[in-house]
Structure 1
Amino acid sequence: MTALCTTLPEHISLLLVDDHKIFLDGLSLALSSLTRELEVHTAQNAEQAEQWLQQRDFDLILLDLKLPDMPGLELLRRWQAQGRMTPVAILSASDSTQDAQAALAAGALGFIPKSSDSEELRLAVTRVLLGESLPAPQPTPIAELTPRQQEILPLLADGLPNKLISRRLGLSEDTVKTHLKALYQELNVHSRTACVAAARQRGWI
């Protein structure tokens, strides 16, 4: 029986793809203790990433979803279509369950939130390098909302005005407005459209 590898090799080569230079510098520093001979290369857009891949192979690519010249998922799908075998993990500021599921469906081995601290980041990268697939992050529990807010959100997403929402739920318009104000504060938004978008990102609707 072949033993499972549980330690990283001394030499590892990573490609970090993100359009923010300061973030790339911080990420490189956070990963510096990953292994003895860590080789880190960076790219700030899809074109630079493609150029690196034409020059050499990598053990892992950490790819941001939002790049200036091409969406990260589109770039990942292109690599998959080309038959590239380099493991890819998505590293994103998005906490959307939908984004995570789309990334995994496109061939990513993991979805790592940028909000991860250094230890969490190193652990996630280590797991991917050892051949594991990271599960999609779970949506923020909807228990943070009141039952009435949970009823209002889907109606808001359907585009119903306050008057129709109040009729549908048997509430006064003032009560609906009060619940909407609380939702805006909870999601840190200032409009109906932004409220729906933020709720969807959290997996609430």
Structure 2
Amino acid sequence: MTALCTALPAQLSLLLVDDHQIFLDGLSLALAPLCADLQIRTAESAAAAEAYLQHATFDLILLDLRLPDMPGLELLQRWQQQGRMTPVAILSASDSNLDAQAALAAGALGFISKSANSVLLRQAVTRVLLGETLPAPQADDKPQLTPRQLEILQLLAEGLPNKSISRQLGVSEDTVKTHLKSLFQEFAVHTRTACVSAARQRGWL
């Protein structure tokens, strides 16, 4: 732990963005030994995070993929488009290699699993703070979309509504909705447009 403190500046400011306050409290405690003067701000939504960024600067933002008002990936992409220079690392319960690859492609400097213990968490955060980009975790059981999901994804990209998709594939609208729900969960999005965008980023379209 001493090595971590000597490797970093004595003063750091972090913004933690996650919609679970209990997790934020635990994360704050886990990161406390990073340096002597660690300032931590927490936000439970994308809107709260953006409000902080209007009047404060941070050395690092730890961002969850799933927020109540906007997917973390979309928020990260917005910051990139705005030209924000604050380093961002994704901290997520997802173990999906696809999520990790998408986060790095969108500009994140790392993808850290929430299942990491305190020591591994501090090590990962330290590496990012020192300017290193963490590689995406490699998984042998990389998630794959089903043939039906791929068909629906392609028709979704063409702008077809559920009724047209169900008619073209010969399945019920409820079946289409079920597959769409699975796709939204896999890509950590809430809208059809965001789903298509995330699928393109990951090479499915």
Which TM-score band (shorter chain)?
A: 0.5 to 0.7
Task: Please name the residue that 2:118 is paired with.
Answer: 118
Please report the RMSD computed on the Cα atoms of aligned residues, expressed in angstroms. Answer: 2.2
Letter in 1 for 2:40: V
CA displacement at 1:141 relative to structure 2 = 5.0
CA displacement at 1:157 relative to structure 2 = 3.0
Please identify runs of 4+ aligned residues in structure 1 that moved more than 6 A: none
Task: Please name the residue that 2:155 is paired with.
Answer: none
CA distance in 1, matches of 2:141, 2:68: 32
Letter in 1 for 2:70: M
Task: Please name the residue that 1:70 is paired with.
Answer: 70
1:154-203 Cα shifts (integer Å, max 9, x gaps): 8x9336xxxxxxxxxxxxxxxxxxxxxxxxxxxxxxxxx8xx98xx89xx
CA distance in 2, matches of 1:158, 1:98: 17
Task: Please name the residue that 2:47 is paired with.
Answer: 47
CA distance in 1, matches of 2:26, 2:140: 27
Question: Quick check: which has more Rg, 1 or 2?
Answer: 1
2:147 to 145, 151, 158: 158
Partner SS, residue 68 of structure 2: coil
Structure 2 residue 72 is the aligned partner of structure 1 residue 83 = no
Task: Please name the residue that 1:109 is paired with.
Answer: 109
Task: Please name the residue that 1:128 is paired with.
Answer: 128
Task: Please name the residue that 1:19 is paired with.
Answer: 19
CA distance in 2, matches of 1:123, 1:14: 15
CA distance in 2, matches of 1:104, 1:133: 9
CA distance in 1, matches of 2:74, 2:141: 30
Letter in 1 for 2:99: D
Using a 3 Å threshold, how does the CA distance of structure 1 residues 71 and 108 change in structure 2: closer, same or farther?
same
CA displacement at 1:47 relative to structure 2 = 0.3
CA displacement at 1:7 relative to structure 2 = 1.2
Partner SS, residue 12 of structure 1: strand
Unmatched segments (≥5 aa) in structure 1 = 1-5, 143-152, 160-192
CA distance in 1, matches of 2:147, 2:91: 31
CA distance in 1, matches of 2:26, 2:15: 14
Letter in 2 for 1:126: T
CA distance in 1, matches of 2:97, 2:69: 24
Partner SS, residue 42 of structure 2: strand
Unmatched segments (≥5 aa) in structure 2 = 1-5, 149-178, 188-205
Task: Please name the residue that 2:94 is paired with.
Answer: 94
Letter in 1 for 2:147: D
Using a 3 Å threshold, how does the CA distance of structure 1 residues 141 and 158 change in structure 2: closer, same or farther?
closer
Q: How much identity, in percent, do the aligned residues show? A: 68
CA distance in 2, matches of 1:41, 1:55: 12
CA distance in 1, matches of 2:11, 2:98: 34
